[in-house]
Amino acid sequence: MTESELIQNLIRLAFSEDIGDGDHTTLCSIPETEVGQSKLLIKEAGILAGVDIAVEVFHFFDPELKVEIFLGDGTQVEPGDVAFIVSGKVRSILQTERLVLNIMQRMSGIATVTSRYMKLLEGTSAKVLDTRKTTPGMRILEKRAVKIGGGENHRIGLFDMILLKDNHVDFAGGIEKAIRGAQNYLKEKNKELKIEIEIRNMDELQEALRVGGVDRIMLDNFTPAQTLEAVKTVRAVNHCVELESSGGIGIDTIRDFAEAGVDYISVGALTHSVKSLDMSLKAI
């Protein structure tokens, strides 16, 4: 399924969930022919995200709604800013209002937090990555918000990369068996996917380096000092394999991991515990 199809399915499901057999409040109070305008009012400083998706929502529900955009995705916004004005049937505006806000507030919150993390990495070569710890059904939008905020996407799902995590390694019978199994699988299925393996200590790191054949090594729950040691160990024998830090890394510690020399730092908090950015859709 394409990204566009996933977004359309999300919008369809969201309207079904919200409207059901009808928005009876709007239907009983607003004449069908009434037209008007509403503005998207920013109420909190941050990075704007989801404008393009808002337009999709409006047009999905009512193709005749017109949207005049003043501020696009990725813009630093302040309280009082107006991102866009939507014009058309008032019934349509009222019935799309909450879905537009739900999407834009969450996407903007994610973009804002991601931007904050990226600023902490300035001057290093590290990039912040999202994870699969996303809201079911909203992953495409949340990962898009991470990119708007300046971060990078890890794998989108289970289908576009092989990531051998600790449970895979343990169930497979160890580092070497897990890696060999992945290599054989890709050869048998004639697939070209990157292979990443999660390691938990220096012994597993040495084994992963001995076996070889992986594109990225994830250093899980290492301290910054252990990360620095691991980076030196890897770079002494392999300059091509990518290195990723993961596990409980937050605002206060991310810089330490970046300065240790890893290429990527994955942060689940970008999507699993973010605060939405405050905004509202107000009648003009």
Hey, which residues are catalytic here?
Answer: 98, 133, 165, 198, 220
Amino acid at 197: I
Q: What are phi and psi of 186, to 5 degrees?
A: -65, -40
Place of tokens 């990443």: 196
Q: Measuring CA to CA, how many Å separate 199 from each of 12, 195, 243?
A: 41, 13, 11
Q: Measuring CA to CA, how many Å separate 75 from each of 53, 82, 108, 197?
A: 15, 12, 10, 36
Kindly report the CA angle at 140 between 220 and 189, in degrees rounded to 5?
Answer: 70
Q: What share of the chain is helix, strand, coil (3-state, %, to 5)?
A: 45, 20, 35
Give me the sheet containing 127-129, strands edge to edge.
127-129, 264-266, 242-246, 216-220, 195-199, 162-164
Separation of alpha carbons 173 and 36, rounded Å: 65
Q: What are phi and psi of 190, to 5 degrees?
A: 55, 45
Kindly report the CA angle at 23 between 278 and 68, in degrees rounded to 5?
Answer: 50
Amino acid at 56: E
H-only helix segments in the chain: 3-19, 24-29, 51-61, 90-120, 139-148, 166-172, 175-189, 202-211, 224-235, 254-259, 269-272
